[in-house]
Amino acid sequence: MRPTHRTAALLALSCVLSAPRICRAQEEEAYVPGYDDRFLQTSTPLVYDPGILGAIFQHRFVQPVNEAGGNNLGGLDSGANIGLGVNYVPVADLGFEAYRSSTNGDYELSVKYTFLRPTRKLPLAVGVRAGVDWLTKVEIEDKVGGFGQLLVAATLGDVVTVAVAPTYVSNTPQFRNVWNVPVALQVKLPKRFFATAEYVPRNRDLEGSVGQWSFALEKAVYHHRFGVWIGNSAATTVDQVAAGDFGGGVTDSNIRLGFNIVRNFELK
């Protein structure tokens, strides 16, 4: 998402050689709202620039901090839901992603298209995402389900971003035809730090279900993004998150620890 040094230099040179009106248009195109391909678990409306290969590593420790105690170092000695993914943008505004969660051997294949990119005058982004989840390790009749998401994000004052992701999932381990609306909030901090939070409303059809919340402090550097994460659910894929039935059901608000690592590679 962030322009390369070569791109920035070309923009500056074109501003010098061209009319002020063209220069202003180029500045609008170079606007970066602060978020990239995803927030924490939830996808953003944007894809990377063409020719970028993205890699993501997500780690969610399963044992809650209050149950682990000091002997298990706040849950860091416990098992974890580990997510590994790659995505690629072959042409402008169109991205493909393959992701695997270790829990249930959950493979998620998706495509995302950005309809509207934010500018300084209109800091609004709109995209759609669709795909399938394939549960290879769980003993259920229907192992494959589809999903679709409308992704909308608005940035206020170039500091605060509010996002919603109305989501439909056809199949989860316990439910069929699930609708939910994850929300995200991101705040820009100095020195390219970001405070990001997400919330997924509880599933009213799941007895004892509670809302899923998460928070991360993130640091962005050139082509890297690292976040230290806390939350009450280790879910990472769309089908794990939407119904709140991850691990048999998210029924408490205990704190779990984790982290996100994102690395981008320029293939062009």
Any idea where the domains of the chain sit in the sequence?
1-30, 33-266
Each residue's pLDDT tens digit, 21-39: 444 444 455 688 999 999 9
Query: In which band, very low, low, confident or very high, does the pLDDT at 17 lie, cut at 50, 70 and 90?
Result: very low
Each residue's pLDDT tens digit, 177-217: 999 999 999 999 999 999 999 999 999 999 888 999 999 99
What per-residue confidence (pLDDT) applies to 63? 80
Residue 46 clears pLDDT 70, i.e. is over it: yes
Q: At what angle are helices 20-29 and 5-17 packed, to 10 degrees?
A: 160
Each residue's pLDDT tens digit, 59-99: 998 888 777 666 666 667 777 899 999 999 999 999 999 99
Domain 33-266 sits in CATH at 2.40.160.40
Shortest CA distance to 131 belongs to which of 173, 182, 87?
A: 87
What per-residue confidence (pLDDT) applies to 52? 94
What per-residue confidence (pLDDT) applies to 30? 63
Each residue's pLDDT tens digit, 213-231: 999 999 999 899 999 999 9
Tokens representing 46 are 């944007």
Q: What angle do CA 183, 187, 189 make, to 5 degrees?
A: 160
Amino acid at 11: L
Q: How close are the terminal C-alpha atoms of the chain, in Å?
A: 14
Query: Own/partner pairs for 38-41, CB < 8 Å, 24+ apart?
Result: 38/262, 39/163, 39/184, 39/186, 39/196, 39/198, 40/184, 40/196, 40/197, 40/198, 40/214, 40/216, 40/227, 40/229, 40/231, 40/260, 41/182, 41/198, 41/214, 41/235, 41/236, 41/241
What per-residue confidence (pLDDT) applies to 22? 41
What per-residue confidence (pLDDT) applies to 21? 43
What per-residue confidence (pLDDT) applies to 29? 56
pTM equals 0.85
Identify whether the C-beta of residue 195 lies closer than 8 Å to the C-beta of residue 160: no
What per-residue confidence (pLDDT) applies to 202? 93
Each residue's pLDDT tens digit, 112-168: 999 999 999 999 999 999 999 999 987 777 889 999 999 999 999 999 999 999 999
What per-residue confidence (pLDDT) applies to 74? 67
Enumerate the H helices of the chain as residue ranges. 5-17, 20-29, 65-68, 238-242
Residue 11 clears pLDDT 50, i.e. is over it: no
Each residue's pLDDT tens digit, 231-254: 999 999 999 999 999 888 888 878
What per-residue confidence (pLDDT) applies to 65? 79
Identify whether the C-beta of residue 39 lies closer than 8 Å to the C-beta of residue 163: yes
